Structure formats: C-alpha cells, structure tokens
C-alpha cells in the first residue's frame, strides 16, 4: 500500500511481480534493474527458485508534488510458500502478473491468476493488475489472442521476453501509469492519511522484511 517514507518523505509505491514458479519473475526484476543501471537483490535461492523475494529500489515521477519511490518485489512461486507470497501481495499497489506463455506453464498460470484476482478482491480497494505474457519467444508459446480470450478483456496484456529484457521496462512503466492514474482518479492518496498510516505502522526495509518472512517460515508455511 502507498505510504510515505519516514526519512525522505517520498511517496512509496509497491510494485509486486507474481506468477507460478519459473515463469520469469526473478528474470523480470533483474532485467528491470539493468534497464536503470541498478542491482536487484535476491534473498536466498534453491535450484534457481526464489525462497523469499527479489527486491529493487527505483525512483521516478511525482504524485501530490512528492517524488515517487518504487519498491519492486517478486514473490516466491512455490505453493508451499504461499503465506510468504500472500503477505507480500497484501502490500501491493499494483501487481505485474508474469504469465508463463509456454504450453507447459499456461494452465498453471491461469489458475494462479484466478487465485490472485480472488485475493485482491478481498482488499479494501481494487488493485490494478498488468498481465505480462512472458516467454513469447518460444515456438510453442500461446499467442496473445488466445491469452486475451482466456483471461478476459478487463486486464491489460503486455508481451515480454524476460531472458532478453525485451518489453520489461515498458511493462513496468505501463503498470506504474495504471497505478498512478487509478490513485488519482479515486482520490485514494491523501497526505494526511499517509502520514498517519506511516506513523502507526512500520515500513520495513529489505532486511526487516526478510526477518518477518523468516519468522513465518519457522512457524510453518
């Protein structure tokens, strides 16, 4: 959720990458980092799978005359880590859903997208979703027309090839634009409320979030 940074006073927006295992979430965050000449952090991997999250800090644009700081995170894709995933998504201001366009990953991606939409419906306000149709370079990739037919016309789709960095920056910029337009349209960003919310709750950094998620793991996922 949008908050004010307690030290800089900048507006903080959380952009979360979701998707099934090996859909391209980590590759997307790392490719995005390279686009802005930054480095992404990955907190523990096993067999190429993220166990906690990927983290990237970016800045750009203004809202309510405040500079915007973007906290970009990806969730762990494995079902056994669903509690960690749910906690990260709960903080999202916009979700980029990395859909696996391969024939082996498409059905699982549709199922996960349904779960995501159900989870976000329980929020106090709608959260924008951008579907990032990844792996479009594969010969057997499901084409965008079929993807649109299956997910519905209410979600925007953007084609990407995360391993090559193609379309990653554009998808991110589009998702951020969706988020900011929605916040402005619905008048959901109020500086007084944000200051109050930030004062009443902590805004964890990467290490603090890792500690919180580790505690969840110790108590069972």
Which position has the higher pLDDT, 121 or 187?
121
Homologous superfamily in CATH for domain 8-191+198-218: P-loop containing nucleotide triphosphate hydrolases (3.40.50.300)
**Of 15 and 199, which is predicted with more confidence?**
15
Listed by start position, the domains of the chain span 8-191+198-218
Cα–Cα–Cα angle for 206, 212, 214, rounded to 5 degrees: 100
**Which residue spans within the chain are E strands per DSSP?**
3-4, 11-18, 41-42, 45-46, 49-50, 54-63, 66-74, 94-100, 129-134, 156-159
Strands 11-18 and 3-4: antiparallel
Which percentage of the chain shows pLDDT scores above 70?
A: 76
Q: What is the model's pLDDT at position 218?
A: 44
Q: What counts of helices (H) and strands (E) characterise the chain?
A: 7, 10
Q: Is the predicted pLDDT of residue 49 greater than 80, yes or no?
A: no
Q: Pairing relation of β-strands 94-100 and 129-134?
A: parallel
Query: pLDDT by residue (tens digit) across 79-108?
Result: 656 677 888 898 899 999 999 999 999 999
Least reliable range by pLDDT among 43-52, 60-69, 86-95: 43-52
- Quote the CA–CA distance of 157 and 130 in Å, as a whole number: 6
**What distance in Å separates the CA atoms of residue 114 and residue 108, rounded to the nearest whole number?**
10
């Amino acid at each position: 959720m949008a908050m004010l940074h307690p030290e800089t006073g900048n507006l903080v927006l959380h952009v979360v990458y979701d998707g099934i295992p090996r859909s391209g979430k980590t590759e997307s965050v790392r490719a995005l980092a390279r686009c802005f000449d930054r480095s992404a952090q990955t907190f523990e991997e096993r067999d190429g799978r993220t166990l906690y999250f990927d983290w990237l800090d970016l800045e750009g644009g203004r809202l309510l005359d405040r500079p915007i700081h973007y906290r970009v995170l990806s969730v762990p894709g494995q079902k056994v880590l669903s509690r960690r995933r749910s906690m990260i998504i709960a903080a999202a201001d916009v979700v980029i859903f990395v859909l696996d366009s391969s024939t082996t990953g498409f059905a699982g991606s549709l199922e996960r997208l349904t779960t995501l939409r159900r989870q976000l419906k329980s929020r106090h306000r709608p959260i924008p979703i951008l579907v990032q149709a990844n792996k479009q370079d594969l010969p057997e990739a499901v084409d965008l027309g079929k993807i649109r037919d299956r997910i519905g016309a209410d979600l925007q789709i953007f084609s990407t090839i995360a391993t090559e960095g193609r379309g990653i920056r554009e998808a991110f910029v589009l998702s951020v634009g969706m988020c900011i337009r929605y916040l402005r349209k619905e008048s959901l960003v109020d500086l007084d409320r944000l200051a109050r919310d930030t004062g009443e709750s902590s805004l964890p950094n990467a290490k603090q979030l890792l500690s919180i998620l580790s505690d969840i793991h110790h108590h069972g996922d």
